[in-house]
Structure 1
Amino acid sequence: MNIVIAGAGLIGQGWAIVFARGGCAVRLWDGDEAALARATTLISRQVNELENRGLLNDAQAVMARIQAVPDLALALQDADYVQENLPEVLELKQTFFSTLDTLAGPQTVLASSTSSIPASAFSEHLAGRSRCLVAHPVNPPYLVPVVELCGAPWTDPAIIEKARDIMQAIGQKPVTVNKELRGFVLNRLQGALLREAFRLVQGGYVSVEDLDVTVKDGLGLRWAFMGPFETIDLNAPEGVADYCNRYGGMFQDIAQEQTSIDAWDPALVHTVDQQRRALLPAADLLERRLWRDERLMALLLHKRQAEISQDAATS
């Protein structure tokens, strides 16, 4: 399968790794040839690290599947799927998708990595708009496999299914968002938790550090293996309905306190930032990000091994 990655920034680099690891021929394009060269170097470094961690086999073969192509028209020849990763600017995406729709063959799926712009906003004017969708990854996509697939009202359902098949074939975890909404599903869930986290800190109920402990050493441990519905299904003797009967009233009462839609207060943001900088100086942010990726690698490997063991036990 021929894949075009348009835009060689961090997300584009991540997608190139995902598709090449999955056995696809990847053409990496960027309008800045210097950025394209830098991206190839960074991808090679990360692919070797993934091999060292046991998360892919044969880094050399993976890199051989990735070709930097500075000519967009050439990159799009015989492409089966395009993953666009340009900046989050609507006008830029509208213009670029017009170019893609003109240059790419009619069979080519055109997907955007946008985290907030609906597909209808950048595809409505296109002759080939039925083949356009959002395929929103989580950064970095080679370590966090969820991909949200969301079409416009006019996106052909067969295109969504084709995108799902492609994502499953390369080891990602596709989620279909049935109707367009801003932020899709993951960012809306993340936003709801963040809003309550800021509110609890603002009210003096908990420190920034202890709030993070509550999630990473509490909710997060369960959520690494199951979602919120499965969590409550297992947290009452008779499952979901029993849980809702037991705790629904409590959550309804709490919800009355969670109705604010005010913007995050700048003073509150400053307070949270100060507490974070006391725990992690700004100069150490990059090192901590690298540590985060190492921990994600270890967790991903553990989950893969657990899935293999479970499959073996049920076969």
Structure 2
Amino acid sequence: MTSGAGTVRTVGVVGAGAIGASWAAHLLAQGRHVVVTDPADDAQERLLAFVEPLVDAESLDRLTFSPEITALRDVDLVIEAGPERLDVKRSVFAALDAVVRPDVLLTSSSSGLLPSDFQDACEHPERVLVAHPFNPPHLVPLVEVVGGRLTSPAAVDQAMTQLAALGKVPVRLQQELPGHVVNRLQAALWREAYALVTRGAISVADLDLAVANGPGLRWALLGPFATQHLSGGGGQGIAHILAHLGPPMEAWWADLSPATTLDPKMVDAVVQGTDAELADVDEADLLARRDAALAQLIADKAARGL
């Protein structure tokens, strides 16, 4: 890989869905030229409907749309945000590999697929990796960087550098895992949350209140290890927590819900509880207020060095 030291001026985005459009909005706000490709008939319309309220007119002038993947021939970085289907990924990456310069990274926003499972469709698999954003990418800075079996270490280093330069917070995963790391952590919480609601231990609304007004507040500022360390008090830190609260925590682990399946009873409990919680809520307004609060929180964290 030779372009890592160069500036990423133009980014190609494959897919104009929710993730691709959000990536485009972020990249335009970062001052980059963005070329979006998507073969769907209404793709350009959907893209503009998402992006126009988020960026100024000058930024929109740096946005190009084409239904043809060949439009990405001269980009400096590719972000694929297409369907989460392995057959589609293999086809798209093979096409990208044939069009885009060999020194340009080909990254996938896949939320759980392994890069090793589709990079071998390319002649240059060493430049293929996953760069999984946290939704929505135009607001949330996290990107998980995952190399595959054939990805070169230089490509991973290059991805970390380029993503940081694009205003993201990249984290390097040392292993390929289904769901990567963050989605696995979310899945662990959801599994127990769904089980607690299904068994009648708490309502959906109260569980949401508990997380949003308790641990979620601290998790938004520091990760689980740093949070636990600060809970130790008196300078004793996480070693004190593990020594004194470790045994009861192990007992809680043993009592957690076993392997859980989304059977009809669980699905009904979760869906009905969520519908009841949000019955009188304007979801578009809630989403807008959440996004505004997210933007303010991220700005406050940056101002405080968190």
Match of 2:77 in 1: 81
Is the Cα contact below 8 Å between 2:108 and 2:130 reproduced in 1? yes
Do residues 72 (structure 1) and 69 (structure 2) align?
yes
Of 138, 142, 146, which aligns to 2:138? 142
Match of 1:299 in 2: 297
Shift of 1:61: 2.9
Match of 1:115 in 2: 111
Which ranges of structure 2 fall in alignment gaps of 5 or more residues? 1-8
Equivalent position amino acid for 2:31 in 1 = G
Supply the RMSD in Å over aligned alpha carbons.
Answer: 1.7
Matches within 5 A, 1:1-315: 1-47=9-55, 59-73=56-70, 75-237=71-233, 238-258=236-256, 260-281=258-279, 284-307=282-305
TM-score with structure 2 setting the length: 0.91
Shift of 1:202: 2.4
* CA distance in structure 1 between the aligned counterparts of 2:239 and 2:75, rounded to whole angstroms: 48
- Any idea what SS the aligned residue of 2:282 has? helix
Equivalent position amino acid for 2:228 in 1 = I
Structure richer in helix, relative to its length: 1
Is the Cα contact below 8 Å between 1:22 and 1:169 reproduced in 2? no
* CA distance in structure 2 between the aligned counterparts of 1:12 and 1:250, rounded to whole angstroms: 44
Structure 1 residues 171 and 251: alpha-carbon distance in aligned structure 2, compared to 1, 3 A threshold = same
Is the Cα contact below 8 Å between 1:40 and 1:68 reproduced in 2? no
Is the Cα contact below 8 Å between 1:2 and 1:79 reproduced in 2? yes
Equivalent position amino acid for 1:271 in 2 = A
Is the Cα contact below 8 Å between 1:136 and 1:149 reproduced in 2? yes
Identity %: 36
Shift of 1:282: 8.5
Match of 2:6 in 1: none
Residues 35-72 of structure 1: CA deviation (Å, up to 9, x unaligned):
1133123201122xxxxxxxxxxx23322222223332
- Any idea what SS the aligned residue of 1:148 has? strand
Shift of 1:33: 4.8
Which ranges of structure 1 fall in alignment gaps of 5 or more residues? 48-58, 311-315
* CA distance in structure 2 between the aligned counterparts of 1:30 and 1:244, rounded to whole angstroms: 50
- Any idea what SS the aligned residue of 2:42 has? helix
